[in-house]
Amino acid sequence: SSDVCSSDLPVKPPKVNSLDAVASYGISQQSTPPPAVISVTKSKFSPVNIAGRRDWMELRDTVSDLHELKNFFAGKQDSQSPQFLNLIETYKAYTEKKLATPNDFDESTSYLFVEKLAEVIRKRFYTILKACVAGLRGRGKEPVSYYQAIDDRVKKYFAGIGLKSANVKPRENFRQWMEHFEPTVVPAPFEHLDNLISEISLQPRYFEYYNEDGEIEKFWIDGECTVFKRQGVN
């Protein structure tokens, strides 16, 4: 059957794999095997609340811990795992450098932390995530089950550091989410598809944190998607 992301019908979202991450990518149920069961616990860092050095260091150490992914790749003998493993080997040092403990702490420290953390995720961890998304769509070098196993561990990692997905679905109106996506425009084959999301490469994600007034805010990491657009229409 045709990929859900590129087909015109059905208009209603199709049934997909129960894994949230897979469902949000818009991948048809037939293209993914049943996921392995990996326990996911709620992060104690959501919302992020940095009151001092100890809080900062504890969250930084959690962010830099990719042992489950490292163990997975270390046990594989394929063409891609060594590349991922090399990335993970440098991730801890990169994270500790970018999230170096500040000298002063105040009401804005939680924002400072999530701002720096979002940069770490975008510049380093998303390399793994993008390869995983492509693999789940059948565009990788390894079987889909390989990328499913990665996705299970990525989901657990994100939950542990308090990074949440917006869970946007294909065919939603792009205008509702335009502040949180970096879009690529494609021609709309039919008028009713104008301004609808065609395919989601990366979900918008966010951290919750306490601002200077003690209120919970969201710090967003933009997603990537393709959007249907009628030619000659703004």
Residue 21: predicted pLDDT: 38
Q: In residues, how long is the chain?
A: 234
Cα–Cα distance, 146 to 36 (Å, whole number): 11
Cα–Cα distance, 106 to 59 (Å, whole number): 17
Give pLDDT < 70 ranges for the chain: 1-43, 232-234
Residue type, 47: P
Which position has the token pair 């795992």? Answer: 81
Residue 83: predicted pLDDT: 87
What does pTM read for this prediction?
0.78
Residue 5: predicted pLDDT: 29
Nearest to 59 by CA among 8, 21, 116, 4: 116
Residue 45: predicted pLDDT: 76
Strands 216-221 and 197-202: unpaired
Residue 232: predicted pLDDT: 67
208, 117 contact by CB (below 8 A) = no
Residue type, 48: V
Residue 7: predicted pLDDT: 27
Ramachandran bin of 178, using left for φ above 0, alpha for ψ from -120 to 50, beta for the remaining angles: alpha
